[in-house]
Structures are given as structure tokens and as C-alpha cells.
């Protein structure tokens, strides 16, 4: 019996989507499903939802729940990680404190001061998960959805190099879907390659029947002034390849946009967007808990975790996009750092595809992102709080917006605000 564990199962909307896809595969309909969360109410909501999905789909999984992470992980084959350390209050802190210093953010979960501090409070929990898995399920695959993705996968490769880890994100899939809609081409008709880092990778090849679709995109952009008011369209027109994350994400990874009022207006950048998204998620959770809606079993297999599990269990080959340590995969990005590349998955596991060198201008844009993440991971591993400040100093948006003195003061303020959510050595 395949054993699938959900860590952070209280993210019930996400759990619902993944479970619907997992139990929709006949080969997984009898799987052992273990739900874990540290919030008893959310865990109970997730369990009720899981049982309703199973009943509606006609599946007969073995469903159990536990507040004990070690009990959940014992004997696991696959571990889906969707935790958010500190929850909404910590996210609120990541936005409110920087805003007092005049620093604008949109999502704050990948790099920037928001991403740095999200990573720092997540790493200790990841270390605990990795240690538990080494003891209780050493051959299992950790399928990580938790952000900051690149930092988390890089950190795990440093502290648990033998752990099987894939970082999974849907941004490349939805980017290509969006591009296909723009040029009115069915998604199923196209082939594409992408490479880079999570939330800042690039569509390197995008074709239909061997024909490059970028000229069609150029024509669509030229014909539509509103398309030209997207950050990533602006980046594409200047850099030559389309970035794989939304405009609100992309705006805060570079120094060019958020500092300038006129750019925020020109490109319609939603400052503080993630707070709105988080508040909507809280409302959706409450509605799911209090007013259970009929289960919708229509499957749109956009998430990779169900596909990975099915491929590894059945041997069905699939090509996905995954975040893995850079071991000869992208030549002009640092070795060992987590990169996002295509990967083949089947019964033998996952095999990332070497992508060679990125075009030099794209690697140049990626490198500041990598530097922020590398310094943050190093801060956690060495316990050196100066590295936290130095990570913020080299962050493109933060450096473009604040003086170095203000950056250090901001890091001090966030350290105090997050308190014991941070590793003890970094609380000074």
C-alpha cells in the first residue's frame, strides 16, 4: 500500500486539490493517506474533507490524522510538504514592518526581506522533518511546496544531502497556459523548455509543430497596449525570454519597478498583494469548515505531486518541472544551488535534464536572486546574524529602496518581531 503523508494538511484548499487528483488515479485509490498539522481544528477540517473526497470518488483509501509529525512520517513513501511556519500573523509581520521603513513588497515569499525571514523561520522545521525522515522513512520522497522554494531545497541539500527531495511549483505550467491563451493556441499542442530559478525561470523554447511561437507573442503584445502593462511582458521585451512567474512576483525580484511610483502605475503593480490573498484564503478556509460544498471531482492535473507519485508507483513516464540542486544542470549558475529545470519521472525516480548555459542576460538577472538565497541559507547553517543583514543588502529591491543603515535597522526590527520563530543563534 502506497503511503502518502501531508504535512501542513490544514491548508485545506490545497489539500483538497491534491487529494482529488491522487484519489482519481485507480492505482492510488486505496492508498494510505496520513494528514498532519499542528492546528487541531484545521486538521479535523482536513480529515472531514478527505473523507468526503474519498466517498465522492468511490475510492477506498486508509485515512488517518495525527498531530504528531513522527507518527505521520513513520513508513511514508511520499511526503507532501505545504507548511507555513508562523501562519498569517508572521506573513503580516513580513509586510507591516518593512512598510514602516518605506519598503514595498508584493508577495514577499521568495527573496526580499519577506523571503529571507520566511526562510529563516522555516529552516528549523525542515531540519526536523529531514531528521525524522532519515530515521523513519529513509527512502521516501519529500515533495516540497513550501516557499521560499529555492532557499528550502538548497538548505535541505546542505543539511540532509541523502534525502530525496523535489521542489514542486505550478508557475511554469500556468505561464505557458497564459502564453497559449494570448496567442490562441491550445496548450496541448505546444512543446516548451524552461530553466532558471524558482519564480524567476525563463521560457527558453516554446513551439507548435516545430514553429517558434515567440513571434506570435510579439505581434499580440504590439497589438494590445494592456499587455504591455504587465511587469513580465516588460521584462520579456527587454530581456528576450518570458519569465515564468506572475508580474506581482516578478516585480519584487529586480530593482527596476517597486521603487518608482510611475512604474507602479504604468505596470499596475499590486503592492501588498499577498496580504489580500492570505486574507481570502482565511475566508475560504472558514467557508470550507463551516459550509461544506459538494465535492467537485473534475480533475485538472496542474499540480505535479499527484503526477510524480503516480509515475513513481506505476512507472508511467512523465516530464515535469522540478527544483533540485544544480549539479551540472545550468552551467552559468552556481553549483549546488537549487535550480528549476525539466525532469523525467518514472519508477526509477526523478532525472533532472541538463540545460546548458542560460542566455547571459538571463543568468545575470538570476545571480542577485541566488546571492540573496545563498547568504540566507549560510546564515542559518553558520548561525551568523550578520549574513542575514548582508542577504538583505544584496537583495535587488531592498537595495534599490533603502540605505544600508535602514536595511540593518529593518532586519533588527524583523528579528525582534518574529522572536522565537527564528533560529536561536539568529535572534541577536
- Catalytic residue positions? 170
d(CA 134, CA 145): 20
If you search the block for the grid coordinates 549558475, which residue do you land on? 333
Nearest to 393 by CA among 406, 404, 382: 404
Q: How far is CA 283 from the centre of its chain?
A: 22
Rounded to 10°, the helix 12-24/40-57 angle is 30
Helix (H) or strand (E) holding 305, with range, is helix 304-314
User: Which DSSP string corresponds to 146-174?
Assistant: -SSHHHHHHHHHHH-TTSEEEE--SHHHH
Can you say whether the dihedral through the CA atoms of 212, 216, 217, 219 is positive or negative? positive
Would you call 133 helix, strand, or coil by DSSP? helix
Q: How far is CA 382 from CA 119, 120, 320, 324, 375, in A?
A: 15, 12, 34, 22, 10
Q: How far is CA 143 from CA 9, 76, 116, 309, in A?
A: 13, 12, 21, 9
Q: Which residues of 269-294 are buried (b: 16+ CB within 10 A; e: fewer)?
A: beebbbbeeeeebeeebeebbeeeee
Q: How far is CA 337 from CA 155, 169, 275, 323, in A?
A: 9, 17, 29, 10
Amino acid at each position: 500500500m502506497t503511503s502518502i503523508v501531508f504535512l501542513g494538511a490544514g491548508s485545506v484548499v490545497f489539500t483538497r486539490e491534491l487529494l482529488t487528483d491522487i484519489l482519481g488515479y485507480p492505482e492510488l485509490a486505496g492508498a494510505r493517506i496520513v494528514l498532519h498539522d499542528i492546528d487541531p481544528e484545521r486538521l479535523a477540517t482536513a480529515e472531514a474533507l478527505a473523507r468526503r473526497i474519498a466517498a465522492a470518488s468511490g475510492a477506498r483509501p486508509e485515512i488517518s490524522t495525527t498531530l504528531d509529525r513522527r507518527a505521520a512520517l513513520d513508513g511514508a513513501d511520499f511526503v507532501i510538504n505545504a507548511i507555513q511556519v508562523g501562519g498569517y500573523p508572521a506573513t503580516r509581520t513580513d509586510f507591516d514592518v518593512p512598510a514602516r521603513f518605506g519598503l514595498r513588497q508584493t508577495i514577499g515569499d521568495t527573496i526580499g526581506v519577506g523571503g529571507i525571514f520566511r526562510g529563516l523561520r522555516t529552516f528549523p522545521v525542515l531540519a526536523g522533518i529531514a531528521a525524522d525522515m532519515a530515521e523513519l522513512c529513509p527512502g521516501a520522497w519529500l515533495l516540497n511546496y513550501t516557499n521560499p522554494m529555492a532557499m528550502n531545497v538548497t538548505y535541505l541539500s546542505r543539511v540532509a544531502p541523502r534525502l530525496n527531495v523535489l521542489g514542486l511549483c505550478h508557475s511554469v505550467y500556468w505561464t505557458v497556459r497564459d502564453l497559449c491563451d494570448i496567442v490562441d493556441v491550445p496548450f496541448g499542442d505546444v512543446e516548451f523548455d524552461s530553466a532558471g530559478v524558482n519564480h524567476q525561470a525563463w521560457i527558453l523554447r516554446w513551439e507548435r509543430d516545430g514553429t517558434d511561437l515567440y513571434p506570435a507573442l510579439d505581434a499580440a503584445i504590439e497589438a494590445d497596449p494592456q499587455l504591455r502593462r504587465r511587469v513580465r511582458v516588460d521584462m520579456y521585451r527587454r530581456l528576450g525570454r518570458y519569465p515564468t512567474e506572475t508580474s506581482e512576483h516578478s516585480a519584487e525580484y529586480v530593482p527596476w519597478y517597486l521603487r518608482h511610483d510611475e512604474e507602479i502605475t504604468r505596470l499596475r503593480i499590486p503592492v501588498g498583494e499577498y496580504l489580500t490573498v492570505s486574507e481570502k484564503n482565511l475566508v475560504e478556509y472558514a467557508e470550507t469548515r463551516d459550509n461544506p460544498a459538494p465535492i467537485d471531482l473534475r480533475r485538472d492535473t496542474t499540480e505535479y505531486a499527484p503526477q510524480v507519485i503516480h509515475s513513481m508507483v506505476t512507472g508511467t513516464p512523465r516530464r515535469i518541472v522540478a527544483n533540485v540542486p544544480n549539479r551540472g544542470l545550468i552551467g552559468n549558475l552556481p553549483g549546488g544551488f537549487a535550480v528549476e529545470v525539466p525532469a523525467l519521472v518514472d519508477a526509477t525516480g526523478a532525472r533532472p535534464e541538463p540545460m546548458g548555459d542560460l542566455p547571459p542576460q538571463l543568468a545575470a538577472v538570476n545571480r542577485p536572486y541566488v546571492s540573496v538565497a545563498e547568504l540566507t541559507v549560510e546564515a542559518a547553517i553558520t548561525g551568523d546574524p550578520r549574513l542575514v543583514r548582508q542577504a538583505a543588502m544584496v537583495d535587488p529591491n531592498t537595495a534599490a529602496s533603502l540605505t544600508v543603515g535602514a536595511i540593518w535597522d529593518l532586519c533588527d526590527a524583523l528579528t525582534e518581531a518574529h522572536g522565537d520563530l527564528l533560529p536561536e543563534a539568529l535572534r541577536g
